[in-house]
Chains A and B, each alone.
Chain A
Amino acid sequence: MDTLQHLVAGFGVALTPLNLLIAAMGALIGTVVGLLPGLGPINGVAILMPLAFAMELPAESSLILLAAVYIGCEYGGRISSILLNVPGDAGAIMTALDGYPMARKGLGGVALSISAWSSFVGSLIATVGIVLFAPLLASWALSFGPAEYFALMCFAFACIAGLMGDAPLKAGLAAIIGLSLSCVGLDSNSGVYRFTGGDVHLSDGIQFIVVVIGVFSISEILLMLQEHHTSTGLITDTGRKLFNAKEMAQTWWGTVRSSVVGFVVGVLPGAGATIASAMTYSMEKRLTDKDGTFGKGDIRGVAAPEAANNSAATGSFVPMLTLGVPGSGTTAVMVGALALYNITPGPALFTQQPALVWGLIASLFLANAILLVINIPLVGAFTQVLRVPNWILVPGILAVSAVGVYAVHATTFDLVLMAALGGVGYLLRKQGVPMAPLILGFVLGDLMEQNLRRALSITSGDPSILVESPIAVGLWVGAAAMVAVPPLLRLRRHARFHADAATA
């Protein structure tokens, strides 16, 4: 009952004209950012975050803006996947597998509308999931001490490294680089300046926005030079606009299944929409693909990953809000946004900032409804955005990114640091080092160090406190499993593959 009361109050916050307008704007911007190949939710949120701060929006309004952009991106990504065969963001890679063949068969309109619908169902199920589980998790997490928090953050890094797939070592390195960057500046416990080189610009640390925009937006622009896309493959004849009842019935259970799986994957710290959509696509393929039509334009192969990437994106709010440990790169950026307002997410947020938390949850419902409305009839307008040539688009992205960086401190130093981090980020990404763990490390660095030091202070330096409580032990075991199990599974699959090859 308590939850229901809070939710009603949350709708009170979300339905104020300002917040409603902001949610609609965010949904619109998010869809556009999502559909542009090369720009994903992290870029969108990173660029808008400093602007929201500079515009002096209240904390809950800017969080609503960023959340609407995030969910909007997951909607928008599908448009370019389906019509251009180029995923608009990483979560939409799977959608292209069946979406583009559908569009080539003249069913583009059906693919777009069914994926908007399944995105809606995915987000809706996940938002209900937040309402049901987040308060429980938050009240449970209130009992976490510094040792448990330290273990939890190690668990988050283990998740992101283990699930990132081919290069857990590089994901780990990225996290360490992020953690190291977070050490720069004044150490609040001792008053020692670390790694500043005596430069006054670094004395309060590297600005979060500078890191995010540098390693994501600037490096992305340099990467885009290689993967030039043109709008030549764009399919303009989309045929029938709306799916029919038969198509809806055909995809319904796959959509629901994928939404639930997506939510669970999204809640895991570190794992996000990309993994969820890949998992559910192969799950649906195994469960329902009797005639081998997946990959050739099967409508179920469009609905499932779209439902999953939306529900995972929405689900990743759960660890961010309840534990203060973000579930995806994008929510990591939002933690940084809250830090600008001196708000530290964590279990206490539910009791200290109920308007913020429940306002956000209520706006997720609203933004999702707005997105469904703008994404089915207006999809034609959005596809026009894909025709904007890169020689306008890229300088525009660069200029807006620079405005974002400049908005925080108004120094040339930050802009130069952004350019330098962009170059380094580019080289790292070329080398296969993922950037999401780096951001997670940068956001969690201070918290992680503080909790480690606090834990060791309790026992005056005895590290055994880190493995004392059952919760901490559970998290360590979980972390070890996350790192060890995926490579073992891969090894086994590999061995089986070779055995099959030998007997064949």
Chain B
Amino acid sequence: MSDRILGAACLVTSAAMAWAARDYAAAISYEPVGPSAFPLLLAGLMAAGGAWLVARPALRGNSLHGVPAVPTALCALAVLVYALLFQWLGFAAATAAMAVPVGMAFGGSLKQSLAAGAGLGLALFFLFDKALDAVLPTGVLSFVLGGR
């Protein structure tokens, strides 16, 4: 990814922002500056910055060069799946499931990562839910851990 792409992304985002903000208007206006002015100002600044990056990119090469692509993508996907399953599977089970791909991406073996995940899931559940009163979902393990 080069700065040109970042600049282009800024231009597209700012255009979308400006388009969405174009007709924000208060039903009854009692002030000279309405709800659309500030977003439009920001969209303008973002467009200017994006245009500058497209015209004069500081970073021309591929910034993602040398990134371990497979582990990074795997981790990012694991975080997303973790987010989706968090409530449904419950904290302890979802954490154990998440720790397998993430742990393995960070050099653990399958067994190590699963053990770490299960341990973390249960230990953190008891720490936060039971000891510190931050309520967490129990999901599929609700028959042992109680709650929802």
Contact = CB atoms under 8 A, between A and B. Distances in A.
B49 A225 contact: no
A248 interface: no
Secondary structure at chain B's binding surface: helix, strand, loop or mixed? helix
A176 B35 CA distance: 17
Nearest to A390: B106
Contacts of A396: 116, 120, 124
B68 A190 contact: no
Nearest to A394: B106
B134 A54 contact: yes
A395 B33 contact: no
A221 interface: yes
B116 A395 contact: yes
A189 B67 contact: no
B76 A222 contact: yes
Contacts of B6: 428, 431, 433
Interface in A188-210: 189-192, 194-195
A370 interface: no
A421 to B, nearest CB: 11
B64 interface: yes
Nearest to B25: A192
Interface in A92-136: none
A225 B132 contact: no
B27 interface: yes
A55 B59 contact: no
A180 interface: yes
B124 A461 contact: no
A412 B139 CA distance: 13
Given A187-B24, A391-B113, A431 B63 contact: yes
Nearest to A415: B83
A363 to B, nearest CB: 21
A440 to B, nearest CB: 14
Interface string A406-449: 11001110011011101100111011110000000000000001
B29 to A, nearest CB: 7
A107 to B, nearest CB: 32
Most buried by A among B80, B86, B104: B86
A326 B58 CA distance: 29
A163 B31 CA distance: 36
A189 B120 contact: no
Interface of B: 1, 3, 6, 10, 17, 20-21, 24-27, 29, 31-35, 37-39, 42-43, 45-46, 49-50, 52-53, 58-59, 63-64, 66-68, 71-72, 75-76, 79-80, 82-84, 86-88, 91, 95, 98-99, 102-108, 112-113, 116-117, 120-121, 124, 128, 132-137
Interface of A: 50-51, 54-56, 167, 169-170, 172-173, 176-177, 179-180, 183, 187, 189-192, 194-195, 218, 221-222, 224-226, 228, 389-396, 398-400, 402-403, 406-407, 410-412, 415-416, 418-420, 422-423, 426-428, 430-433, 449, 452-453, 456-457, 460-461
Given A173-B10, A390-B108, A419-B80, 7 more contacts: A396-B116, A403-B124, A423-B80, A427-B1, A431-B63, A452-B33, A453-B37
